[in-house]
A and B are shown apart, each in its own frame.
Chain A
Amino acid sequence: MAEAAAERRGGERWRLLALVPVAALVAAVTLFSTVGDSLTGLVGESPPPRDEFNIRRVVLHPGEIRIRVTNPQREDLTIATVTVDDAIVGYHLDGPRTLGRLRSSTIVIPYDWVEGEPLAVGVTSSTGIQTTHAIPAAVATPGVTGARVLGLALIGLLVGVLPIALGLLWLPSLRRARPEWLAAFMALTGGLLSFLAVEALSEALDLQAGLPGGFGGPGLVLLGVAASYVGITVLSRRLRGAGRAAGRAAEGPLRGLALATLIAVGIGLHNFGEGLAIGTSFALGELALGSFLIVGFMVHNVTEGLGIATPIADQRRDVGVARLALLAVVAGFPAVLGAWLGGFVTSDVLAVIFFAVAAGAALEVVVEVGRFVARRAPGGLTSPWSLGGFFAGVAIMYVTGILA
């Protein structure tokens, strides 16, 4: 007893000692911040700041242009002159004129812009540095109306819920398929989810690269991916726990309806991103791109329904239509939410996080599917059925992706 107590006391002392490096660091930072300038002066002179604005959003209303600008740099940045198509224009500010780091302001310009023609806005700093932003074709930015809410919802349903429901109709055929074929279809699901994961990750990194440096860098993407991976892992534990309670195999890979649910969640998070892309392209006036995206995503997403149906086909117990409909909604409805978000609130930071979350979720589900295939497929992960299915999945996504 006494020994243990002494050890604990010793443990407390060690904990105090662990604070020493922190205290030393504080002292060093304080010292450096007082003499730091003369120290960096030894190395050389810092170049002047770039003084470029980050033009976040340009909103067009009849007779008016609104430009949202952010200061991406450490030094203050002052808005001096504003141009539209290389002509100085009068304006007023909704926000401060001098912007501190990551502070924003909205420039409001009374302007009679021409519908359908290119438009370039420029914001010049007090140091004369001009940041320009080109709009390929000027179209009025839509506001929030009942018709638009409904329209975006319908588009979301068309892109998300409908094709997945159609894909689920493969279930009766899958039930009659031989085990090798079922394994191949599971591997195919793994392939298409891998494709979605890579696609979402690349989208997240692309969008992140366009953000001002202060918003976290690639670490923001890692944070989203890791958080959603862990989240989906926890979810898969829960689903496995529910399976155990129902008295089935306690160990082993997730399977049957539970695996189908997990796949539906992963696909749902991805479809949220797809909805976001469609909503944003409508909001930015790229209507043609929007319609094109819809057709592409519909074709793309039918295979996702197949992915959800396959593990259900593997289990003997029958699954009701209501349960299947719920799975279609879990996987497809996020497209509606994404379309609303993209259509009404465009935020680059949110978009980065959503795509990162989609990537992490898809990755986790790929791991679950991999476990399932490894255990259940005749010949395991490296059988021709598994490999063929995986690459077929990637290939299908690639080919249908060209449409989107």
Chain B
Amino acid sequence: MTRRRLLAAVPPVVVAATGARAALGGDGSYEATHMHGHHGIVGHAAMVGGSAPAPGGPHDLDGLLEPPPAQPHRPGRLREYHLSAIDRTIEIAPGVFFPGWTYNGTIPGPVIRATQDDLLRVTFTNGGSHPHTIHFHGIHPANMDGVFEIVDPGATFTYEFPARPYGMQLYHCHATPLKKHIHKGLYGAFIIDPPEPRKPARELVMVLNGYDTDGDGENNFYTVNGLTFYYAKYPIRVRRSETLRIYLANLTEFDLINSFHLHGDFFRYYPTGSSDQFEYTDTVMLCQGQRGIIEIDFANTGRFMFHAHQSEFTDLGWMGFFDVVE
């Protein structure tokens, strides 16, 4: 191996190591990612520190990206989840620490999944410093709506209702001030599978969000699944031979809309995922709280970008790559 080749092989390793430290919320993790800025690089690679993107990465967002598997339809089956509100500071961009309010320590919170007609039981403990709730989208009794049943710090509340209708739903805190409680990070994806299983596919979850780190009512960063440029640094490896299904939700505060745009291909978009109706497109626009299901059958292999088709959001962190292999 020549010296030149050896040097070429180094950057991804460095990036992976620093990314792992970022996951631990360790200090100084930005050093390597930004100190390697090369002169003359002004393309998209410069945004992530000038290092060559490498598929894989530290896998610290896998829990948010990859949902638990769908279960066959069995009405009345109990599905239990435990959610805790936790105040936690998260490194949302290299070296930038955001004092977040989280469900189970991550922004967005964990993916909740049930099949239609399952009995969903979510035990919620408020370990934070402010009153919170969980408000689920879907069909449920009024007293399970997370609006009037405020859960004080230290208290517990159990939400119990049959999961319906099928589709891509979401959940978020509904304590006031609403804007503050959502933008601080209290939201997550909630998938309800149809009685008739969807056709097999590689499944991913993408929650779109933003962070206003200086309190001026405007976002300083935009991300998918909580960390800026994460999938630009660590492209998501997918197969051309396999359908890719993305459960997409927009929980961006302060801005009216967010969007998803795929390069080099088209996809089927099922609004809210609650019917067979779809649109064949490469760009969808979502208001806050809007969500849907995307199904992609890649025509080509290679590296394809996906991002918000609002250039500002792209430039401020909401951008990534699919690394499509055979």
Contacts and interface: CB of A to CB of B under 8 A. Distances in A.
A and B co-occur in one complex:
yes
Interface of A: 63-64, 78-81, 83, 86-93, 97, 110-112, 124-130
Contacts of A111: 42
Nearest to A111: B42
Contacts, number: 83
Given A126-B97, A129-B214, A88 B37 contact: no
A79 B37 CA distance: 15
B315 A90 contact: no
Contacts of A110: 37-42, 46
Interface residues of B, number: 33
Contacts of B34: 90-92
B150 interface: no
Nearest to A112: B42
Given A88-B93, A93-B35, A110-B46, A127 B312 contact: no
B35 to A, nearest CB: 6
Interface string B72-93: 0000000000000000000001
A87 B315 contact: yes
B94 interface: yes
B228 A127 contact: no
B30 interface: yes
Closest 4 A/B residue pairs (Cβ): A128-B213, A87-B315, A80-B95, A90-B46
B273 interface: no
A254 B211 CA distance: 69
B40 to A, nearest CB: 6
B50 A90 contact: yes
Contacts of B228: 88
A134 to B, nearest CB: 15
A128 B93 CA distance: 9
A80 B35 CA distance: 11
A110 B228 CA distance: 20
Interface string B48-62: 111000000000000
Interface in B194-247: 211, 213-214, 220-221, 228-229
B315 A86 contact: yes
Nearest to B229: A88
B47 interface: yes
Given A88-B316, A110-B37, 17 more contacts: A63-B42, A80-B95, A80-B96, A81-B93, A83-B315, A87-B316, A89-B46, A90-B34, A90-B48, A90-B50, A91-B34, A92-B34, A92-B37, A110-B41, A124-B213, A127-B96, A128-B97
Contact of A129 (B47, B93, B94, B213): B213
A83 B45 CA distance: 15
Contact of A126 (B45, B95, B315): B95
Contacts of B312: 86-87
Contacts of B37: 90-92, 110
Given A80-B96, A81-B93, A97-B31, A130 B46 contact: no
